[in-house]
Amino acid sequence: MADAGTCGALWADWWGFKAEAYDAVQENILIVDRARNGRGCAVVHSDSPEGIQRLNQEAGKVIGVARRAGIEVAPEQAIRWLTANAARVLGIEAQVGTLERGKMADVVLWNQNPFSVYAKAEKVWIDGALLYDRADPARQPTYDFMLGQEPL
């Protein structure tokens, strides 16, 4: 796959729940990513609507598996599994996937390591506009269950 420039979209630790995941191993992303001296291309994938919202935590699982195997994964490498490599798979890497002048980007500022289950989004910019700020009540989402109720 690395020689052909092919990326693999893989689950962090799901296995056995359907045919293509039957013989998966937790090291899959790491193996694909490190193929041919780092020329591999892995993408963290999820079939779950809940899991897709937490791909940063899925990547964190791979970092943990790698660490237990004695391999350190740099955060800038792990973020590629979610951003640049995914854009490459979709053929849109010229427009998105990395923070570069002229590219479109939605950006999240985390309060700590984004691969931690304890990380919280502090600010979110979409198309250059600050749309969420944890410290600013005016930039908080409105939830359906709060409609028609007095603010807390």
- Summarised one tens digit per residue, pLDDT across range 38-58 is 789 999 998 888 888 899 999
- Quote the pTM value: 0.85
Structural domain that includes position 137? 8-146
Is the residue at 96 inside a domain? yes
pLDDT at 16: 83
Cβ atoms 89, 43 nearer than 8 A: yes
Number of domains in the chain: 1
Is the residue at 134 inside a domain? yes
Is the residue at 3 inside a domain? no
What is the torsional sign of CA 104, 108, 112, 113?
Answer: negative
CA–CA distances in Å: residue 149 to residues 142, 143, 144, 146, 152: 11, 11, 10, 5, 9
Taking each helix axis from N to C end, the angle separating 55-68 and 28-38, rounded to the nearest 10 degrees, works out to 70
Reported as a single tens digit per residue, the pLDDT across 108-140 is 999 999 999 999 999 999 988 999 999 998 998
